[in-house]
Structure 1
Amino acid sequence: MNAKDILMRAVQCDQAGRILEAQHLYQDGIQILMDLVSGESDVAKKKVFYERIKEYIDRAEQIKDRVQKHVIRGELVTNIPIDDNATGNSYQSLFGKYLNAEVKEVLLEEPYLIEKYQFQNLVTFLELLVKNCRNIKYVRVVTKTDMKAPENQKNVLEQIRADMFRRNVTLSIKFEDTLHDRKIVLSNGYIIKIGRGLHFFKATNPLYSLGLCDYDFRKCLQTDVDIWRTKNFIA
């Protein structure tokens, strides 16, 4: 898409309350406009470009501030301690009831998406999103770069992104190598903070035993799950 189409799409998402996707599209559109203006020799046209760019930058910053305020504010709804070797703690059991038709966008901050089991956990989480949230349109995953095998990481994430696209869900991947905190932010106003992020399940032993597919049968590492409630993104 060209800059005009991307920015029109951004405005549509913005008006529909899908602000994470809108922010992503604004940033893409801004970059294309910046590339165009750098090659423009007409001073008057440059001025018009810069005025439009500033408008979109300001809006993208407003969205960023709104998301940050949502994440910072909120009330603790429940704390779920998980003991070492405990079972019955699948994603569905822990927070599935908060994944509903009101969820249109999700922000997942998960620093570690490197190992095979970590990608499997991500897919399991996304399966639950698509299954429970019939109106889901956009998921942003923020993670660290795999310094040892960055191309493999990108290839796996691209496979997942392409599959989500076929299901009419946009999956955006952002790399932040200083990322430490782990959280799941839902556009309906719930925030899920897990001490170990998505990766608190122990491997099945032996491999082909209960828990291989149904995580309620999996033994867990010790961790805590905090569920917070704040305003939804549209508010």
Structure 2
Amino acid sequence: MSGALKAKEQLIRAVECDQIGRILEAQTLYQDGITQLMSFVETEPDENKRKAFVLRIKEYIDRADAIKARVNGKLMLGQVVDHISIEENDTGYDYDQIFGKYMDDKTIEILLEEPYMTQNYQYQNLIRFLELAITNCKNLKYFRLITKEYSDPKNPDQQKTNLGQIRADLERRYIVVSIKYEDTLHDRRIYLSNGYIIKIGRGLHFYKAANPMYSIGLVNYKYRKCLQTDVDVWRNNSAAS
């Protein structure tokens, strides 16, 4: 498929997602489609065609800017609806008990900002989170992960391999996945398209290792000891807009 055709398909899909309220996915499609179309235009020898493409690109950039403003508006914190203080060595706090009730069939998109995805237990935590999302969010269509890029000197492709496996598994379940790397990322945040924003001081990784390994809490995190952290759940009142 030529670059122009692929860009066109992505931009058409971006408009469709925008119209049905899948704005996180629309944002990604606009960005990717515009980038590909601009690359194609640079190699177009016909000046008149090039000018026509430039005008079309400007239209899509305007749409992308409008989507960005909507996304940023939905990521703004609104009203605090819950606060949980987890103390050192506390138990009884698996993901479902903390925020499972906010994940429902109105959640069609999820954004997870989690800086650290490098260790086996961190990938396991991500899987546990996604299992909860799939269970509770029956209409989930799009998942975006933003994390820091990490290259293990012994296995430089391990992070991309692991996240690629997770992406492939979700896509087999008809959930579109976007993975973005931001080296300056620090905040941890979960955005649910039904309007809830969950901020956890330590992100997903607030559980201690099972000690000894084969003890209660190895599989059911309700029994796993925690590190000290705070959880705030916010409700954005513009969720329906």
Q: Give the TM-score band, short-chain normalised.
A: over 0.9
User: Does the aligned pair in 2 maintain the 1:202–1:218 contact within 8 Å?
Assistant: yes
The alignment of Structure 1 onto Structure 2 pairs a total of residues equal to 235
Partner of 2:171: 165
Say whether residues 1:94 and 2:98 are aligned partners. yes
User: Does the aligned pair in 1 maintain the 2:25–2:142 contact within 8 Å?
Assistant: yes
Partner of 1:140: 144
User: Does the aligned pair in 2 maintain the 1:75–1:229 contact within 8 Å?
Assistant: yes
Equivalent AA in structure 2 for residue 112 of structure 1: Y
1:31 CA drift (Å) = 1.6
Partner of 1:59: 63
Task: Decide which moves more: 100-109 or 206-215.
Answer: 206-215
Partner of 2:117: 113
Name the CA distance, whole Å, in 2 between partners of 1:55 and 1:151.
38
* 5+ long unaligned stretches in structure 2: none
Q: Which runs of 4+ in 1 moved over 3 A?
A: 147-150, 231-234
* 5+ long unaligned stretches in structure 1: none
TM-score (norm 1): 0.96
Task: Decide which moves more: 210-219 or 128-137.
Answer: 210-219
User: Does the aligned pair in 1 maintain the 2:151–2:157 contact within 8 Å?
Assistant: no
1:68 to 66, 72, 88: 72
Partner of 1:37: 41
Equivalent AA in structure 1 for residue 159 of structure 2: Q
Equivalent AA in structure 2 for residue 109 of structure 1: E
Name the CA distance, whole Å, in 2 between partners of 1:58 and 1:210.
54
1:72 CA drift (Å) = 2.2
Say whether residues 1:176 and 2:176 are aligned partners. no
Name the CA distance, whole Å, in 2 between partners of 1:23 and 1:7.
10
1:73 CA drift (Å) = 3.5
Equivalent AA in structure 1 for residue 131 of structure 2: E
1:82 to 75, 82, 86: 86
User: Does the aligned pair in 1 maintain the 2:73–2:238 contact within 8 Å?
Assistant: no
Name the CA distance, whole Å, in 2 between partners of 1:55 and 1:43.
19
1:13-57 CA deviation, whole Å, 9 max, x = no partner? 110100000111111111221121011111111111111111111
Say whether residues 1:203 and 2:209 are aligned partners. yes
Partner of 2:230: 224
TM-score (norm 2): 0.94
Task: Decide which moves more: 49-58 or 154-163.
Answer: 49-58
Name the CA distance, whole Å, in 2 between partners of 1:64 and 1:54.
15
What SS class does the counterpart of residue 37 from structure 1 fall into? helix
Give the percent of matched residue pairs that are identical in Structure 1 and Structure 2: 58
What SS class does the counterpart of residue 210 from structure 1 fall into? coil
What SS class does the counterpart of residue 72 from structure 1 fall into? coil
User: Does the aligned pair in 1 maintain the 2:31–2:64 contact within 8 Å?
Assistant: yes
Superposed counterparts of 1:125-136, under 5 Å: 125-136=129-140
1:3 to 7, 22, 25: 7
Equivalent AA in structure 2 for residue 79 of structure 1: H
User: Does the aligned pair in 2 maintain the 1:182–1:193 contact within 8 Å?
Assistant: yes
What SS class does the counterpart of residue 89 from structure 2 fall into? coil
What SS class does the counterpart of residue 64 from structure 1 fall into? helix
User: Does the aligned pair in 1 maintain the 2:151–2:158 contact within 8 Å?
Assistant: no
Partner of 1:15: 19
Equivalent AA in structure 1 for residue 84 of structure 2: I
Equivalent AA in structure 2 for residue 101 of structure 1: D
